[in-house]
């Protein structure tokens, strides 16, 4: 995945082939296809990894938030921080799945 990410950023998604990713990662074609059905599947996995990493970083950044939530008697889910960020502008939170969906058109995946 790291090789794919690096090449997508360097050469662009359309400019990067599965062969490029395999060569950069030093793996055989069969190894790539053991984990990913296509370049789009690799891109989808990278997108999911990005969103998970983003949410984890947000959780670390809002350390005092559990105390504030506890005072309101509200239990926190692991993705509450992401819910605070992703919304429709009227205070409605959609969460991690909405973040993934918002990246759905990125790169044709």
User: What are the tens digits of pLDDT across the range 75-85?
Assistant: 555 555 455 44
Task: For the domain covering 1-35, report its CATH number.
Answer: 1.10.10
pLDDT, one tens digit per residue, over 33-47 is 999 999 999 999 999
> Is the overall model pTM greater than 0.75, yes or no?
no
Determine the longest span between alpha carbons in the chain, in angstroms: 54
Question: Position of tokens 């030093």?
Answer: 26
Query: Which residues make Cβ contacts (< 8 Å) with residue 51, sequence separation at least 6?
Result: 82, 96, 99, 100, 103
What is the rounded distance in angstroms from the CA atom of residue 109 to the CA atom of residue 103? 9
Instruction: Determine the Cα–Cα distance for residues 35 and 65; give it in Å rounded to an integer.
Output: 37
**Three-state DSSP class for residue 72:** coil
List Cβ neighbours of 94 (8 Å cut-off, separation of 6 or more): 83, 86, 87, 88
Break the chain into its structural domains and give their ranges.
Answer: 1-35, 40-109
């Amino acid at each position: 995945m790291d090789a794919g990410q690096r090449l997508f950023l360097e050469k662009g998604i359309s400019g990067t082939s599965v062969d490029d990713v395999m060569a950069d990662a030093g793996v055989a074609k069969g190894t790539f296809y053991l984990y990913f059905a296509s370049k789009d599947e690799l891109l989808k996995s990278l997108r999911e990894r990005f969103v998970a990493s983003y949410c984890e970083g947000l959780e670390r950044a809002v350390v005092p938030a559990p105390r504030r939530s506890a005072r309101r008697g509200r239990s926190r889910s692991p993705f509450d921080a992401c819910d605070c960020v992703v919304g429709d502008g009227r205070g409605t939170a959609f969460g991690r799945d909405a973040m993934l969906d918002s990246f759905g058109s990125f790169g044709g995946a």
